[in-house]
Amino acid sequence: MKKGALLIFILLFLDQLTKHLAKAFITLSDPDLVWIPHVLHLAYRENRGASGSMLQDQQFLFMIVTVIALAMFGYLFLEVDFKIKKTYSWSIVLFIAGTLGNAIDRAMLGYVIDFLHYPFLDYILNLFNASNFYNNFADLYLSLGIVLFAIDLFFFETKRKKVVTHDKV
């Protein structure tokens, strides 16, 4: 559990550091700074909503959802074990770090700092009227956490249950 807490701290520090660097060196008026053409651009955005700027200025709702999410993730964190449940443990660490990263922004700034833009996704997102998608490291943590949690649930959890059931027989 100590390893999980340390990883959360490191990931949270990285998220906050990159957001503050984006705020310090990229302005709202700057066009996207091309890092990898057609793949990754950097641009400072203040997101007062959820993913894709949905639910603009619903800070009270975000606070309630964050408290509930952190309570659930905290409960799941009790099962973190990097020796036996590595994928599960990483997913929970990523969930907590991502949730806290964006919660800190909302609490301190009233908005979330986004700065990563993926132009290659614009065409696909335009089909759903969701263009101009920007995010940050906390959002990446949450996305990766979902993928790892699903992998653990569908592949590794069933194997762990079979081992436990087999050991009891």
Say how far apart CA 141 and CA 84 lie, in whole Å: 21
* The dihedral formed by the CA atoms of 30, 31, 36 and 38, expressed in degrees to the nearest 10: 160
Phi (first) and psi of residue 43, to 5 degrees: -160, 130
Q: Which of 30, 32, 57, 139 is catalytic?
A: 139
Helix (H, G, I), strand (E, B), or coil: what is residue 42?
strand
Say how far apart CA 87 and CA 94 lie, in whole Å: 11
Find the length of the chain: 169
Q: Are 26 and 33 in contact (CB under 8 A)?
A: yes
Active-site residue 57, yes or no? no
Q: Which of 15, 105, 114, 152 is catalytic?
A: 114
Residues serving a catalytic function are: 114, 139
